[in-house]
Amino acid sequence: MERTEKNVRLGFTLPIGSADKAVELAKGARDLGYEEVWMAEVNGGDSYALAGAVAQGLPGLRLGTAVVPAQTRTPMMHAMAAMTLSQLTDGNFILGLGLSSPNIVHDWGGQPYDKPLTRMREHVEVLRQMLTGAKTTYEGKTLSVKGFRLGSSPVGEVPIYLGALNKMMLRLTGALCDGICLNMVPESALPQVLREVRAGAEEAGRDPNAIEVVARLHVMLIDDPSMGRNMIRTVFGAYAATPGYNKCFEWLGFEKEARQIRESFAKRDRAGVAAGVTDRLCDAMAIAGPAETIRARVRAYAEAGIDVCVINPLADPSAVPKVLDEISGCLDGLNLRNSGVIRATT
């Protein structure tokens, strides 16, 4: 079954700056044509709280998390937040979960960071049960729930998306989830990545065309791309040393860079890590350059298989409206047939 012709959508990421400006920023973005708001979470604003504020301030806007770490809250907390946001958005909320990193989950949060595939599978299975309103009892290898039931019901079915990087997690997403949230995947690698999602869906007897593809695109509006790349090394260099991203970059063809970053990080050699983040890897992680460069690459992502291009401006909060204005409309008139999983793998 194929989808009819559709428009690829443009969204943007919160939080940016302080929480009291979130709704104002979202309103400005909506007025520029941004159709969706997606909440990221590291150590800034709480994604669910921000989503609630935006839902109240901008009724009718589609909201999602891309992504909330699965392990830093219990499944019942995720389920209650998703139910509440489903009600606040009249069924227009997407629950996006991810593994995050050992630093965030284990070092900061004091939670175990092991059995990643099992943990994500069990989180999805438990949350599916909870979000139906059924009384949930579940005994898995990483999760245990006894007799929990939501006190109210979501509006419709809450879609569950996963942040996935590597083969087995991509296949798990295809097998179990409604969508995928990609981060720091270059457009040239999308066929390779989405092929695994499609394979997972087909192995599970699911229609790959039903899986939505969301990509967070980090953008830096700057006249000098080389200066922008140097800033990207500072912002994202440490990500390339985390196990999930390092393995992903190696798989995507950055073997030399991944090895140097991994080995340098183990020796606490910061200069070595920075040297491993080559210009080529910087361009995979983010888009740095003048507005025409950013607009062209966002459009290339859409043409390569992305359904929702979510812009994350790498800028001082005061400069974010200008960045969003400069690249708004970059997808105007772009109508593509089929979902990203189909389009990028056939």
Residue-wise pLDDT tens digits, 170-181: 999 999 999 999
| Mean pLDDT to the nearest integer, 200-218 | 97
| Mean pLDDT to the nearest integer, 318-324 | 97
Q: What is the pLDDT of residue 333?
A: 85
What is the rounded average pLDDT for all residues in the chain? 94
| Residue among 7, 83, 28 nearest 51 (CA) | 83
Q: What is the pLDDT of residue 337?
A: 65
Distance CA 89, CA 95 (A): 12
Distance CA 342, CA 209 (A): 6
Residue-wise pLDDT tens digits, 78-110: 999 999 999 999 999 999 999 999 999 999 999
Which two three-digit tokens encode residue 343?
A: 């389009």
| Residue among 203, 141, 142 nearest 170 (CA) | 203
Which residue type does 44 have?
G
DSSP letter for 72, please. G
| Residue among 168, 193, 72, 172 nearest 122 (CA) | 172
Residue-wise pLDDT tens digits, 24-34: 999 999 999 99
Q: What is the pLDDT of residue 324?
A: 98
Domain extents in the chain: 6-219+297-343, 223-289
Residue-wise pLDDT tens digits, 117-156: 999 999 999 999 999 999 999 999 999 999 999 999 999 9
Instruction: Quote the distance between the C-alpha of residue 237 and its chain's center.
Output: 18
Q: Which residues contact 71 (CB under 8 A, 6 or more apart)?
A: 99, 100, 105, 109, 111, 112, 113, 119
Residue with tokens 């888009």: 287
Q: What is the pLDDT of residue 342?
A: 74
Contact 158, 131 (CB under 8 A): yes
Provide the percentage of residues in the chain whose pLDDT is more than 90. 91
pLDDT band, very low/low/confident/very high, at 249 (cuts 50, 70, 90): very high
Terminal CA-CA length for the chain: 14
Provide the percentage of residues in the chain whose pLDDT is more than 70. 97
pTM over 0.85: yes
Choose which CATH entry (3.30.750.24, 3.20.20.30, 3.40.1160.10, 3.20.20.140) describes domain 6-219+297-343: 3.20.20.30
pLDDT band, very low/low/confident/very high, at 344 (cuts 50, 70, 90): confident
Contact 13, 47 (CB under 8 A): no
| Helix ranges, the chain (H) | 22-31, 47-57, 75-88, 102, 116-131, 167-176, 190-203, 225-236, 243-251, 255-266, 270-276, 279-285, 291-304, 320-327, 340-343
Q: Which residues contact 170 (CB under 8 A, 6 or more apart)?
A: 164, 180, 193, 196, 197, 200
Residue-wise pLDDT tens digits, 61-82: 999 999 999 999 999 999 999 9
Answer with the residue of higher pLDDT: 313 or 16: 313
Q: What is the pLDDT of residue 2?
A: 39
pLDDT band, very low/low/confident/very high, at 206 (cuts 50, 70, 90): very high
3-state secondary structure of 38: strand
| Mean pLDDT to the nearest integer, 226-235 | 94
pLDDT band, very low/low/confident/very high, at 159 (cuts 50, 70, 90): very high
